[in-house]
Structure 1
Amino acid sequence: MSKRNRSPGSRKRTVKTRALSPALRDTLQMALLDYQNGQLSSAKDRCEKVLKKVPNTGPALHCLSLILMLEGDVDRASSLMERAVTVNPDSAPDWSLLGNLQQECGKRGAAVAAYNRALDLDPKLSSARYNLAGMLLDDGQLISAKVHFELLIKANKDDPECHHGLALIMLELGDMVGSRQELDRALSLDPSFTTGWYDLGNWHRKNNEFMDAVAAYEHALKIDPNYPAAHNNVGNCYLQMGDYSLARYHLEKSAMLRPTGQAYMSLASLFGLLEDWDGQRAACDSALSLSSDDLEIFLAAGELAVDRDDFDKAELIFTRAQSLWPDSPPILTALAKTLLRSGRSKEALKLCEYAVTLDPSFADAHLNLGVARQFLGEHDAAITAFERAISLDQFFVEAYNNLGVTYADLGKFEEAYKCFDRALSIDPDSVLVLASLLNSRKNTPDSGPQVEHLSRLASSRSFPLSLKVAMHFALGKAYDDLQAYDKAFANYEEGNRLKSEVAPFNREAHSQRINNIIETFNADCFEALKDVGQASDIPVFVVGMPRSGTTLVESIIASHSQAAGAGELRDIYSMVRDFGKKIGSSQHYPAAVHELRRSAVDQLANSYLSTLKGVSDTALRVVDKMPNNFLHLGLITLLLPNAKIIHCRRYALDVCLSNYFQMYAYALNFSYNFEDLAFYYKQYQDLMMHWQHLLPVSIFECDYEELVNNQEATSRKIIDYCQLPWEPNCLAFHKTSRTVQTASHWQVRQPMYRSSSGRWRYYAPYIDTLRSALEREGCQL
């Protein structure tokens, strides 16, 4: 709220000027008249002339302070007014002006004391009461502010600004009827009151009455076409209503009139809905440069970067924010979320634990602590964290959702569905929960209401990118389950289109990466390091293209009484990412492999074995089913020469299509279009051929189609390769009580099925591009 100032001479007051000569008294009088007539430069010169001769002349101090405040020199103005109230401690206007100046200087406690002193001297000094009331409103002291505005209205019931102030308080207190009545009263008293029309728009917006809100904002803009806040809010209303053209006009106008961080963040949100990712990045950069000390801007900009899978940018933003606010739980939690999306769960866990110690009541920190535990396979601890988040916020939809997903991972589907149902009772339109529900089960015609509901949301409302993607992939799965293949493919295609636009696959970089690995891991490399490594028989690596049957093979082995499944461990990925640092080299992986020495090999191998020990300290075999470990079989063999390696193979069209149909927790951006998938598949084949010819170990080749068609024979071969005695339980893997984090919660709890073999035939009309791309790459079909 704007402050009110009393100009000198605007109210009768006792002016003690006996110490002034007649000439100085005339100079002072002329200075006051100049001020009232807007001749500030002349008034300033005359005041300074008086004060040079008589430094403690109260009226001159007051007048000069007002002029300096208008010029922006509030520090000097405040200093002058402190002298003024010392000279004349019984001057209510002086105390009131001192309050204004101290408020401008950020000395809010001193400002309140000054206003109260002014009102003690003159309870009828409305400017002091109005400014005090506005300050209390800004500070959230709503009841105290309300008392002052009511006193102001009692003294002058026809003051529109006081009715407006009371309306704002009632709005904050949830008295919508009273707030509206006061706004109407203010506007009836002054139909040209622009701020009143603006806040009437805010009133309608809070009630989701966007058309009425637009009308009120537009009325304010007719009175003042250059009202930045009105442009911003009407732009956001148009954004909510889906009129992006008008939204863009008003938001850009707002940013031009008053370039603030918040104005540019509104534009950034719009650019996201327009899928203008370059525009969004530029708007976020502008917001951060304009609001380098605004925590909320950092959070918003970072979250948009995460939403578009720009994890490096998000990490930069949140790391910078952490340097500014090192003990901010929201910043720590936001950075943890980013690391989780990047697959760095252990780092994220530490940040969440610290955030919880700083603020045990911060529900979002407990939520992400649970996600970190979940990703690390610590499901009991994850459940505890999610339940703690819910205890702090019983309407926390995301916590119920994640608790449900965890129960689904554990095969506890009844508990999972209870969580999803509770979340949907809070927010029936939650895309996140509807997607989780459809992804956690085999959808049947009974799923129709949820499928149609999500489909309506997809066609009628705008959502952040991540939710748009989740929606289309969930609908794709649901329609696939229902054998509506045309609708399934349309949704998968749209989900992948959205992902590919923000996270394109760099074929050149990937090809160079594969070439570097092949050049590094050659016969000379293995000859030089042939006598190093930890001779443990415990590790079993199940590798291949994602969606090639790695979860199925892990389940078979983990059903054995002497084996355990570790899921998709990120340890090899983390080892490779920080390889140079870990071995004390200035080079990166794979070039730094040539600098490996026995001590470093032992350290890396023992670190990995320690992780397996944490999965089970009794199992003779522990399975790591991270498919992309196929990239690092050379390093794995150097570190762990006795490790078992099972290579899962699947027909090219099926495995590529299955990848295309999957929304991964981590960014696998080769899977977002058919051309990239074919390229990646051929690179994978070439690398596996290199390993098969080079590695001094036996790799078990497991064909998916052979496994599903000849379950027992192939399962026996797998168990025999692992050098374990056969157990019938390995055929009933779906009954094993254990956690399985996989894209197919429901499938992995079912007996072996054959429907995924040859699945591509259902989509034959839509995959000519994939077939052609694979043929161009030289892949046999």
Structure 2
Amino acid sequence: MNPLLQGLDPVAIHRVLATGQALEMHRPNQAANQLAPLLASHPDHPEVLRLHASLLSLRGEHKAALRDMRRALEQRPHEALYHNAFALCLAEAGELDLAIEALYRACALQPGFVLAWYNLGLFLMRAACFDDARIALRNAIELAPDYTAARAQYADLLRMDNFRDEAIAEYRKLLAEQPWAGMAWWGLAEIKTLPLGTADSDAIRRALAHPHASDGDRVAMGFALAKALDDQGRYAESLQALAAANELARRHRSWNASAFDATITSINAARCSANAGGDLGSEVIFIVGMPRSGSTLIEQMLASHSMVEGTAELADLPLVIGEASAHYKKPYPLWLADMSAEDCRHWGQRYLERTARWRKRRPISTDKLPNNWMHIGMIRAMLPGARIVISRRDALETCFSCYRQYFPGNDYTRTFADLASYWRSFDAAANHWARREPAHVYQHVYEDLIKDPATHIRQLLAFCRLPFEEACLRFHETKRSIGTPSAMQVREPLRANTARAPRYGECLDPLRRALDQR
């Protein structure tokens, strides 16, 4: 018997195993049904606590999840699996540094624990500790040479670190052994400067039919195939490949447009009238907007300044909102209108505490989570000294670029109708806040930048209250790791011919109609 299951009767063991399977398949309701009798009959058993913590974390109940995981660890402090589970709960709660500590502990307790090394590599990447991440991922690969996810992630890390040729070699090596590895194909496609030829598109078509390919592999390969066909000028075929990949993705995760619209309406109706006062948050520049609109380019230009630390797509603001919701015992945004100035200061300080590590080298940090556009009112209340840069690009180009991008979790990108609906919500919010708060909210237009880079980079720096530095004009020379799809592009000088929609002509008329452009 598995020693972790000691103290459980056969029926309970069956339920533990069934709960674990349901959690692995991301079926929280099924897991909860299996777990409920266990919580009644064995509420203090460490395996029951571990599974309950995982379920709570999946549901966003982070405080309760950490409580149960700590109770489990008290009983089994030397169990590496438990430290790994604790790390996952900590990471979901936004405690990245503590999660990394827990994973180092798991790896020390069980040096052959492949999953712990892999998770450690992922979290170190998220923390921008790229050298250490490389070591952790290499350890995982040495322990399990066929571990597809670790090998693809290692190649992704090389790409993010601008080791282009090394990344290509790693992807190709993995594909030679596992031609169905979807994330390796997509990793190659993400190297925008690498054209994929007919040999690649033919290989992807064969891999799509491979019996070892999962639906996840097929979705990633579908997007890679579309990129290859686009490189070859086969635009109608590329669009067909995109439609198939997006449709397959929708079978597993769909977008609830009406629920999203209701959320945005609720946020707009509950705007906070108080604010923290003073210049709290002046050390932060938020970059918000639609994905694929030039936000990584904005961050790269700002991160080229000697006073600015370019970070990543930080989850800290949503996590602070989650903490506030738990504190007020109300879902966001129902408590927003009730906040006092003192409340605003408290949550603003909480955000600054969470992000302080990004300002150890330089006094100002960016926060480039695109979806924060829907929380501009919250930012203005909590951090009135912060600057908010809205990244804007032509609606058709932005939406089509989102449709072409393999975006796990961004489910609104799967259909033209959902993309257009999402765009309209963003557009309305961006225009509202730019008109209302011009001193703190600035719309940076990609097409304007392309026409006159020097002028618009100077305007961006002036809005952010930064003295002009020549390095910002030479942003493509700045050495830093970049974890977004635009990593390779922002390391090149600006190009004027980036518009892609004209190549597809009338094939994109359905998207134009969804955007009310025809």
TM-score, normalised on structure 1?
Answer: 0.55
The verdict on how the C-alpha distance between 1:751 and 1:467 changes in structure 2, with shifts beyond 3 A counting, is same
1:437 aligns with 2:182: no
- 1:372-426: CA deviations, max 9, x gaps? 2223333223212112212323443432221111111111223323433443454
d(CA) in 2 for partners of 1:767, 1:319: 50
Once the 2 structures are TM-superposed, how far is the Cα of residue 476 of structure 1 from its aligned partner? 1.6
The amino acid of 2:232's aligned partner reads: L
Distance 2:406 2:301 in 1: 25
CA distance in 1, matches of 2:481, 2:166: 15
The answer to whether structure 1 residue 580 and structure 2 residue 313 are counterparts is no
Q: Which residue of 2 aligns with 1:742?
A: 484
CA distance in 1, matches of 2:117, 2:211: 30
Match of 1:763 in 2: 504
* 1:604, distance to aligned residue in structure 2 (A): 2.3
CA distance in 1, matches of 2:131, 2:402: 30
Question: Which residues of 2 match residues 229-628 of structure 1 at below 5 A?
Answer: 293=14, 298-305=19-26, 349=100, 352-353=103-104, 355-424=106-175, 426-444=177-195, 447-461=197-211, 463-521=213-271, 528-530=273-275, 532=277, 535-581=280-326, 584-628=327-371
The answer as to whether partners of 1:708 and 1:752 remain within 8 angstroms in 2 is yes
Partner of 2:6: none
Do the aligned partners of 1:432 and 1:470 also contact (CA within 8 Å) in 2? yes
Question: How far, CA to CA, are the matches of 2:239 and 2:83 in structure 1?
Answer: 39
Distance 1:461-1:742 versus aligned 2 partners, 3 A rule: same
Alpha-carbon deviation of 1:579?
2.1
Q: Give the direction of change, closer, same or farther, for the CA distance of 1:500–1:395 in structure 2 (3 Å limit).
A: closer
User: Compared with structure 1, are the counterparts of its residues 679 and 536 closer, same or farther at alpha carbon in structure 2 (3 Å cutoff)?
Assistant: closer
Where structure 1 has 5 or more consecutive residues not aligned to the other structure, the ranges are 1-288, 522-526
* Distance across 2 between alignment mates of 1:490 and 1:340: 38
Deviations 1:208-249 (A, max 9, x none): xxxxxxxxxxxxxxxxxxxxxxxxxxxxxxxxxxxxxxxxxx
Report the more deviating stretch, 500-509 or 631-640.
500-509
**1:639 and 1:749 mapped to 2: Cα distance?**
34
**Residue 560 of structure 1, CA deviation:** 1.3
Inter-CA distance 528–401: structure 2 relative to 1 (3 Å threshold) = closer
Verify the 8 A CA contact 1:541 1:625 in the aligned structure 2: yes
Shift of 1:608: 2.4
Corresponding residue to 1:705 among 447, 454, 459: 447
Pair 1:754-2:496 in alignment: yes
1:689 shift after superposition: 3.1
Aligned-partner Cα distance in 1 for 2:12–2:434: 56
Matched residues, percent identical? 27
What's the CA shift string for 1:612-636, capped at 9, x where partnerless? Answer: 4312324243221111111101111
- The separation in 2 between residues aligned to 1:321 and 1:327, in whole angstroms, is 24
The amino acid across from 2:239 in the alignment is F
* Larger helix proportion of the pair: 1
CA RMSD of aligned residues (A): 3.5
Aligned mates of 2:222, 2:193 — CA distance in 1:
17
Q: Report how far residue 679 of structure 1 moved.
A: 0.9
Distance 1:345-1:478 versus aligned 2 partners, 3 A rule? farther
- Does the aligned pair in 1 maintain the 2:275–2:384 contact within 8 Å? no
Q: Which of 427-436 and 537-546 deviates more?
A: 427-436
Contact persistence 2:397–2:501 (CA under 8 A): yes
Q: 1:465: how far off?
A: 2.0
CA contact (8 A) 1:544 1:647 kept: yes
Return the alpha-carbon distance in structure 1 between the equivalents of residues 250 and 75 of structure 2. Answer: 34
| Secondary structure of 2:365 counterpart | strand
- In the other structure, the counterpart of 2:48 is none
**Alignment length, in residue pairs?**
475
Of the three residues 449, 461, 464, the one matched with 1:719 is 461
> Is contact 1:566–1:624 with CA below 8 Å preserved after alignment?
yes
Partner Cα separation in structure 2 for residue 480 and residue 589 of structure 1: 42
- Which amino acid counterpart does residue 456 of structure 1 have in structure 2? R
Residue 339 of structure 1, CA deviation: 9.2
Partner deviation per Cα, 1:703-746 (whole Å, 9 max, x = no partner):
11111222122111111212222222212212211011111332
Q: Is the 8 A contact 1:534 1:606 kept in 2?
A: no
**Residue in 1 aligned with 2:59?**
none
Q: Sort the Cα spacing of 1:574 and 1:725 in 2 relative to 1 into closer, same or farther, 3 A.
A: same
Matched AA of 1:631? M
- Once the two structures are superposed, residues 499-548 of structure 1 have per-residue CA deviations (whole angstroms, 9 ceiling, x without a partner) of 22222211221111111111111xxxxx8524536524211111111111
CA distance 1:691–1:441, shift in 2 (3 Å): closer
Aligned-pair CA distance for 1:338 = 9.7
TM-score norm. by structure 2 comes to 0.81
Structure 1 residue 428 displacement after superposition: 4.4
> How big is the shift at 1:371?
1.1
Q: Compared with structure 1, are the counterparts of its residues 378 and 623 closer, same or farther at alpha carbon in structure 2 (3 Å cutoff)?
A: same
Distance 1:473 1:344 in 2: 33
Is 1:639 aligned with 2:390?
A: no
Q: Secondary structure at the match of 2:428?
A: helix
1:635-674 Cα offsets, whole Å, 9 max, x none, are: 1111111111111111111111111111124x11111111
Partners of 2:487 and 2:12 lie apart in 1 by 44
- Rounded to whole Å, the distance in 1 between the matches of 2:160 and 2:37 is 35
Deviations 1:483-511 (A, max 9, x none): 22122212211111112222221122111
Q: Distance in 2 between matches of 1:312 and 1:348?
A: 26
Counterparts of 2:118 and 2:358, CA distance in 1:
23
